């Protein structure tokens, strides 16, 4: 430890966010990085504690605690603290293929498990990671490094989200020839169209993808596997196949009036904004617009928050965000001790912006939709909302939300965005390859394996484990690549 008492000497200082009124005028990232000296001080706050829960990636109390990638966090925190940036980058890249992504979009499970956070403020792990990787790009250390030897083995990766990219990157490093198939017009999957530009500018994805291309990975976009090319063709052409298509089947809301025009899945809404931003600079008529509309967002998670932030930038008239569950406490409850993931109320950037613009928090808790109302042209004009109350199920002892019949009320809305999560993988690819799926339509494998029921075919990411975090998807891709490499070569050094 460069400064054993750094956590006592220095207060936590994170990258400051731009003023709300300023940042809602654009769709760019809005956090200003600290100076190198300031970031070094933040690195010095790491205690190098004997049991670094930050990198554990284990399940505690039914929730993940610490980094699923088992990033060597105390090591590179220390190296940042002493100004050894190159060595910090080397340690960071050992476990994480895409720190430029995770340092922007990860919810920082590491920080929630940081020992400093047990009785104070956690180390700025994510900001340290951001500074390391951006320094590496500036210094030319993140330049393409193609493998020196090729194995002659070929692998096709179906899907270019974080798990597919991680698997492709690992296998290419090993010397296998990798081709990535993406049905969309751009590489990145969830990263490209599922996460708004404000959280992850698309130039960051393009920068990394161009590096991967220069290292020998081939990317084919606009190809819908199972439709444009058959599974049989790919199985004949490649030694191994990895299915990494994500959990892209959105959860629907089945109530009267659902067929009304103006009701969209959140992913379609966010995709339309990002695609229009990249292709048409958001010219009118090229995206689903919230301008001057009363917007109803159904879902209180990260995607719902992203919808709120996007609608604020569109110039929505008002925004209401529904959350079925009760509001979480502001502080950890006694039954939710550190280092468990803190089940506390989080006001994210989109909600912060809505509070500033509209004068109130957009979230309404313990409420669901009972019915959608449409006008004479079939367009959504309102929604009947139904308050809920929590009750404990006598058999399972779990909390269930029961409707408070007779307490319904109606709100005006001209745009509804359903951000209720995802149910599992779509059937196009799974049926094309004939792989077995489980009850949630995820691709089935043996425990601890990525091998599917079909010979030569593997799976990774949300398509395998269900909707999860980018950092878990990267881990999935890395683990899958290791299994594929061992299958191809008889051993693995990944």
Summarised one tens digit per residue, pLDDT across range 83-103 is: 999 999 999 999 999 999 999
| Predicted pLDDT at 162 | 98
Contact 360, 316 (CB under 8 A): no
Judged against a pLDDT cut of 70, whether residue 475 lies above it is answered with yes
Instruction: Please state, in angstroms and rounded to a whole number, the distance separating the CA atoms of residues 225 and 89.
Output: 36
pLDDT digits (tens, 9 = 90+) for 448-458: 999 999 999 99
pLDDT in tens, 219-273: 999 999 999 999 999 999 999 999 999 998 999 999 999 999 999 999 999 999 9
pLDDT of residue 420: 95
Q: What pLDDT does 267 receive?
A: 96
Instruction: Write the pLDDT tens digit of every residue in 40-73.
Output: 999 999 998 989 999 999 999 899 999 999 999 9
Exposure pattern of 155-184 as b/e (b: 16+ CB <10 Å)? bbbbbbbbbbbbbbbbbbbbbbbbbbbbbb
Report residue 424's pLDDT band, with 50, 70 and 90 as the boundaries: confident
User: 284 vs 2, which has greater pLDDT?
Assistant: 284
Across the range 432-447, mean pLDDT stands at 95
Task: Provide the pLDDT for residue 395.
Answer: 85
pTM for the full predicted model: 0.96
Domains of the chain: 6-138 (1.10.1060.10), 154-248+423-489 (3.50.50.60), 252-420 (3.50.50.60)
Confidence of residue 393 (pLDDT cuts 50, 70, 90): confident
- Confidence check: pLDDT of 289 > 90: yes
What is the percentage of the chain residues whose pLDDT exceeds 70?
100
> What is the predicted pLDDT for the residue at 3?
80
pLDDT, position 2 = 67
pLDDT at 1: 63
């Amino acid at each position: 430890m460069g400064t054993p008492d750094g956590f006592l000497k220095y207060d936590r200082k994170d990258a400051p966010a731009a003023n709300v009124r300023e940042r809602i005028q654009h769709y760019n990232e809005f956090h200003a990085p600290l100076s190198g000296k300031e970031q070094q001080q933040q690195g010095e706050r790491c205690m190098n504690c004997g049991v670094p829960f930050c990198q554990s990636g284990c399940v505690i109390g039914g929730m993940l605690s610490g980094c699923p990638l088992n990033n060597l966090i105390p090591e590179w925190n220390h190296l940042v603290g002493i100004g050894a940036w190159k060595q910090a980058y080397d340690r960071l890249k050992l476990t994480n293929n895409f720190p430029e992504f995770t340092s922007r979009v990860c919810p920082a499970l590491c920080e929630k498990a940081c020992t400093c956070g047990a009785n104070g403020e956690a180390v700025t792990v994510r900001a340290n990671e951001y500074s390391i990787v951006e320094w590496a790009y500036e210094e030319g250390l993140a330049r393409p490094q193609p493998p020196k030897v090729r194995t002659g083995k070929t692998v096709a990766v179906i899907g270019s989200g974080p798990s597919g990219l991680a698997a492709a990157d690992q296998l290419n490093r090993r010397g296998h020839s990798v081709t990535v198939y993406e049905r969309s017009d751009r590489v990145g999957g969830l990263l490209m169209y599922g996460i708004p530009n404000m959280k992850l500018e698309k130039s960051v994805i393009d920068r990394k993808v161009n590096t991967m291309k220069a290292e020998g990975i081939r990317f084919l976009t606009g190809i819908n596997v199972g439709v444009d090319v058959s599974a049989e063709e790919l199985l004949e052409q490649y030694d191994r196949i990895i299915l990494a298509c994500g959990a892209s089947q959105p959860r629907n809301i089945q109530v009267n009036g659902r067929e009304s025009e103006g009701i969209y899945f959140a992913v379609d809404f966010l995709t339309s904004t990002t695609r229009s931003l990249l292709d048409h600079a958001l010219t009118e008529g090229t995206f689903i617009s919230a301008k001057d509309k009363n917007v109803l967002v159904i879902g209180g998670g990260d995607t719902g928050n992203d919808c709120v932030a996007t609608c604020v930038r569109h110039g929505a008239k008002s925004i209401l965000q529904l959350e079925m569950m009760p509001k979480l406490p502001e502080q950890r409850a006694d039954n939710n001790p550190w280092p468990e993931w803190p089940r506390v109320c989080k006001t994210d950037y989109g909600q912060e912006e809505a509070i500033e613009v509209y004068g109130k928090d957009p979230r309404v808790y313990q409420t669901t939709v009972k019915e959608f109302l449409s006008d004479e042209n079939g367009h959504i004009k309102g929604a009947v909302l139904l308050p809920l109350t929590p009750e404990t199920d006598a058999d399972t002892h779990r909390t269930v939300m029961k409707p408070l019949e007779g307490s319904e009320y109606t709100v005006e809305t001209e745009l509804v965005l359903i951000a209720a999560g995802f149910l599992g993988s779509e059937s196009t690819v799974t049926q094309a390859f004939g792989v077995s799926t489980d009850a949630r339509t995820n691709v089935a494998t043996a425990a601890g394996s990525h091998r599917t029921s079909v010979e030569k075919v593997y799976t990774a990411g949300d398509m395998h484990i269900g909707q999860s975090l980018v950092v878990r998807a990267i881990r999935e891709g890395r683990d899958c690549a290791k299994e594929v490499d061992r299958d191809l070569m008889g051993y693995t050094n990944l």
